[in-house]
Structure 1
Amino acid sequence: MEACVQDAKAWLCDNGLMMNNNKSQAIVIHSCSQRTPTSLTRVNICGQLVETSPVIRDLGFNVDANLTMTSQVANVCRSAYYHLSRIAKIRDSISTTVCKSLIHGLVTSRLDYGNAILYGISNSHMHRLEMVHRSAARIVRQFRRGDRQSMTTILRQLHWLPVRKRIDFKLPVLVHRAIYNGTPEYLAALLGRHTPPRSLRSAGGLLLEVLTFCTVLPEISCKGLTIQYYVVL
């Protein structure tokens, strides 16, 4: 792993970038039932020991050690409700068009940012995001929580997809771009067309292969230290 960090630093230097060792973070991703191995509490990054953290921030996205996205969902909801409360105070003084622009710029943009990585999160986390989305719709339509209005109807009138549907829509868009445009390359390299062993009707269905991976690799002993590597998908 340290050799990979050195290679990454060399690549950055070759491309006019620099790795800041003081701002580097390390995280050990594992299942909820698996405790963090004591041998991986520190990582040597270019000669500097970095303590592993239960939550790290990468490109504005919070990633926790169990990949439950609890920290990310909590951060998005907290920020969204803050902006919604401020927009609600001036809702009577602005038009619907202006209100939509404010909500799209301050709230729904946060719900959509990096939402593809939220696929498969628990129903409780998804419900929290849905409640934020519904609160935004009520402010636009100037409905109160106690009003007997169908949220499905309100979202359809606003032409807003629910949060779960927005995530489901983002994934096919990324797959389509990766297949036909080849971008991003790291996703295009993981996608393979399904080729049946014999002539079948499914051959023209533009299906993809379901790749299989080994999630646990054998243990490696080095100088009396046993390390078990995990591949997280």
Structure 2
Amino acid sequence: MYKVDLPLRTVLMFSFSTRLIRRSFCVSKQFSILSKAHLKSPHISSVPSISQPVAASFLKSWSCQSIKDPAFLNLRSDHTMATQSSAPQLVHDFTVKDARGNDVDLSQYKGKVLLIVNVASQCGLTNSNYTELTKLYEQYKDQGLEILAFPCNQFGSQEPGTNEEIQQFACTRFKAEYPIFDKVDVNGSNAAPLYKFLKSSKGGLFGDSIKWNFSKFLVDKEGHVVDRYAPTTSPLSIEKDVKKLLEKA
């Protein structure tokens, strides 16, 4: 049998590096190149050697999804964890714009129960929702409830006004004391990152997309999205869910 003497540590280092750089790349060509280079090495007799079939078998066992080395698995695990941790995991991880265009870090609401609503001023649901949102807020704001209203003009163009006009409408007509933020898109490629996160956390009955004005998301004190309600669900009908989260330690 033809025998090629290769340093065992070289085979190990090479195969491990190849796997890290390109997981699905077959190492046979690299093995061939490595073999030719080491045939000419003056130090080849000074280290342990293995035959070509054995080396090839060894390399194959380290390639294409078959690496079992704990150190490598730890590297993959660390990389995966770093990638996952970089993505927002909580509502508190987001920064949004207020009606004046200033940044608002939602981490300031840690410890609060949040009701996040996309609002509109000219919708058939406007009167009932704004009226009940005000009642709910007055009832529970001192216990830790915050309502975050995000105007949106994507449904029937029923929120055409400026931020200033929207705020004046809500605060004057419905005495809204909770914050009303910058106008946003909640669907489509330009959807606000917060709404992409809300939808991915709690899909609707017929898919993730927001269906109309006054869709509602309930968020616990730690920033987890715990429930989603349809536009036709009245704010007062979810009072029991709000109370349950407020009473939770």
Query: What is the TM-score when the length of structure 2 is the normalising length?
Result: 0.19
TM-score of the superposed pair, with normalisation by structure 1? 0.20
